[in-house]
Structure 1
Amino acid sequence: MKHISTLTALLAALTLSGAHAQNPVQVKVQLKWFPQAQFAGFFVAQAKGYYKAEGLDVQFLPTGDQSPIQTVATGTADFGTTWITDLLTARQQGIPVVHIAQLFQKSGYTLVALKSQGLKGPADFKGKRVGVWPSGNEYPAVALLKKYGLTTSLDSTVSNPSVQAVTYPFDPSIVFPDKVDLVSAMTYNEVDQIVGLGYPLDKLQIFHASDYGINLLEDLMFSTERTLSSSNFKGSGLSGKEVAARLVRATIKGWNYAVKNQKEAVSIVLVNCGNTCKGSGSRSSASSHQTWQMAEVAKLYNAGPTLKGMAGYLDPATYKANVTLLKSLGILKSDPTASAVDYSVWEMATGKKAMK
């Protein structure tokens, strides 16, 4: 009887596997930016067949200056990647988005200035022009400036702001260094672009937001309450949470592989991206810029819970600190509801228990 039941289970598993191969579940994922090594784990998971093994057919939707929140909230995409501040401010506005996995465990946000300006810290930013990004990407800069008692022109209620915010569309060459004194730059992208513009690292003063207590978490995976509560995701017979767990599981596997095999990961990324893979000026080679980027995002992924074997886990203490910071700065008016984060998806994906 034992052999019969074992055989039955095996046949059932094979049938299910075959069904996945024939009818994979269509899943759309909205990336926060154009294809690049920032999303290496996703592209590796796809190239290595990790999504396929989970019965998923994943399509990545690139974006420009549009917030992924909008795409996922309207149902154009099923899942997305964004930053914690974007997600929590969207919740505050009544948009039912839900955090399901935390990929980057450390902030890569910086403000960059020329050393020749002699700026030593945020207190010296008074009277300066600061380049910021639109669509919710300005929050880390706003948080850093507010922490040091600086007001910005982004606040319409302030008549004489101490810092002039200059919104620009993500390319530092448009504003730096002629139109701004400091410019927003991610360690893995714009910092290298600025170097490529002819400003070597030894000529730059890089202010890491995390060094000043502004460690607002970035690339995370999210969905909506509607998707996660679905009992039959797109007629697949799987619940929304099961699909989410499969997506997270394969993505974490992809990230783990990408971090350990960075050269191969870069080669996979290059297949997925076009001109946006290139840096600026002397860093115009797509390969060199993506190699830089892969090395830097690996540092953001390989931190905190990841080092404890809990990749994708949102550390409750870090989350609480992020919420407390955003509340103290007036960006959040109150604590998010418990439903803003769904640890059950991560638990299903990893087989581990969240410590809430």
Structure 2
Amino acid sequence: MFAKLRWAAAALGLVLWTTTAFAQDVTKIRFSLDWKLQGIHAWFLWAQEKGYFAQEKLDVTIDQGEGSAGAVTRVMTGAYDAAFGDANAVIQSAALKPGEAPLIVYMMYSRAPFALLTKATSSIKTIKDLEGKKLGAPAAGATVKMLPLMAKKNGIDYSKISLLSVAPNLQEQLLLQDQVEAIAIFTATSYMNLVALNLDPDKDFRWIYYADAGADLYSNCIIVSQKLVKEKPEAVKGLVRAINRSIREVIENPDAAIDILVKREPLVKRDIEKRRLIYVYKTLMDTPEARQIGMGDVVDARIDESSAMIKEAFELPRAPKFDEVFGRSFLPPKADRMMPVLSN
């Protein structure tokens, strides 16, 4: 009897020790999105739902955000360990506080969503046509912040552009009502706003990308805190692996991915969010560059060029170099990052 009790106690102790050791081995990560839950966040929810984070010994909590630049601030302050944030905001932070800014470990938007939007019937056909026109944009928006640089690059007298500060949720309505002649927008947002208004974004409107007018910038990416990089590098690799795996599977199964989104956020419109996911993937993620070097990676010289442009646009004291803002060592092998191409 005593032998059996000793055996049972030993077995219980082993279970408790194993459970405790496993719990200690799991890394908790607080992850911030850039905005409210949308189709473009399906990959993160997929990784959570399918257990890919757990397989990497990660306990990831995903919270909604209040802006892609704000996501960078959340990580810098220590409120979050990682985020889906703006690469250009990371560059700004690195310029002002070297060694404190988050590190980019996976580039998702290799083409920035910065653009000018006008009606197809408008006389504004290129960025050079902005002189003498009224432009609407949120005062603190990244798109309008880059406008002086765009004007300089294209020989435009910036003082001749009439700027009207508008609320982000009113931009498209003001354009439709002809209160402004163009708006400075994020394509991923405005495109679907127009779809929701039963308008044809491709036929009824003209899109002038900053990337086609001299500002070929990167945009949203996975960023992690310097603390996580230094203390848990394997956890960072695991986080990136899980997300990279999920991107491929979401693109192969968009309907199933939207099912997961709707389960998490029942008020979203399924058809709108599926179309947003596919639109963003095709226009911002599945670029010629990504097809060549693999999703998640960047071109070193392009980061340096972006840094120089950001320094000029925001009058920063310095332009951070590539290795200050991007950590390539956390990427999965290139073969694992070659993503499917959507034909329609």
The CA RMSD measured in Å over matched residues stands at 2.9
Question: 1:96-134 CA distances to partner (integer Å, 9 max, x unpaired)?
Answer: 222221112222332211122221111111122323345
Report the equivalent of 2:309. 325
Question: 1:307-345 CA distances to partner (integer Å, 9 max, x unpaired)?
Answer: 246321122133233224334546544320432222222
- Determine if the alignment matches structure 1 residue 111 to structure 2 residue 116: yes
What are the residue-to-residue correspondences of 1:280-295 with 2, within 5 Å? Answer: 286-295=269-278
Report the equivalent of 2:342. none
Report the equivalent of 1:6. none
Which residue identity is paired with 1:172? Q
Percent identity between matched residues is: 18
**Closer, same or farther in 2 for the Cα pair 1:68/1:133, shift >3 Å?**
farther
Q: Partners of 1:330 and 1:22 in 2: how far apart?
A: 43
**Closer, same or farther in 2 for the Cα pair 1:136/1:24, shift >3 Å?**
farther
**Closer, same or farther in 2 for the Cα pair 1:259/1:184, shift >3 Å?**
farther
Q: Partners of 2:169 and 2:103 in 1: how far apart?
A: 26
Q: Count residues with an aligned counterpart.
A: 311
Q: Partners of 1:141 and 1:208 in 2: how far apart?
A: 12
Judge conservation of contact 1:27–1:78 (CA < 8 Å) in 2: yes
Judge conservation of contact 2:137–2:163 (CA < 8 Å) in 1: no
Give 1:98's match in structure 2, choosing from 103, 108, 111. 103
What are the residue-to-residue correspondences of 1:67-216 with 2, within 5 Å? Answer: 67-94=70-97, 95-133=100-138, 135=140, 137-138=142-143, 139-150=145-156, 160=159, 162-173=161-172, 175-178=174-177, 179-201=179-201, 202-216=203-217
Which sits farther off after the overlay, 183-192 or 38-47?
183-192
Report the equivalent of 2:14. none
Which residue identity is paired with 1:319? I
Larger radius of gyration: 2
Question: 1:197-253 CA distances to partner (integer Å, 9 max, x unpaired)?
Answer: 3543322111122222322111111123233222xxxxxxxx2x2211111110111
Report the equivalent of 2:320. 336
Compare the two structures and name the one with the higher helix fraction. 2
The unaligned stretches of length 5 or more in structure 2 are: 1-16, 336-344
TM-score of the pair, normalised by structure 1: 0.77
Query: How far off its partner does 1:190 sit?
Result: 1.3
Q: Partners of 1:105 and 1:93 in 2: how far apart?
A: 24
Which residue identity is paired with 2:222? M
Judge conservation of contact 1:151–1:163 (CA < 8 Å) in 2: no
Which residue identity is paired with 1:87? V
Judge conservation of contact 2:92–2:311 (CA < 8 Å) in 1: no
Give 2:43's match in structure 1, choosing from 34, 38, 41. 41
**Closer, same or farther in 2 for the Cα pair 1:320/1:33, shift >3 Å?**
same
Question: 1:59-96 CA distances to partner (integer Å, 9 max, x unpaired)?
Answer: 11212247112211111110112222111112222152
Question: 1:21-53 CA distances to partner (integer Å, 9 max, x unpaired)?
Answer: 786322111111111122221111112111111
- Determine if the alignment matches structure 1 residue 345 to structure 2 residue 330: yes
TM-score of the pair, normalised by structure 2: 0.79
**Closer, same or farther in 2 for the Cα pair 1:124/1:298, shift >3 Å?**
same
**Closer, same or farther in 2 for the Cα pair 1:296/1:216, shift >3 Å?**
same
Which sits farther off after the overlay, 111-120 or 180-189?
180-189
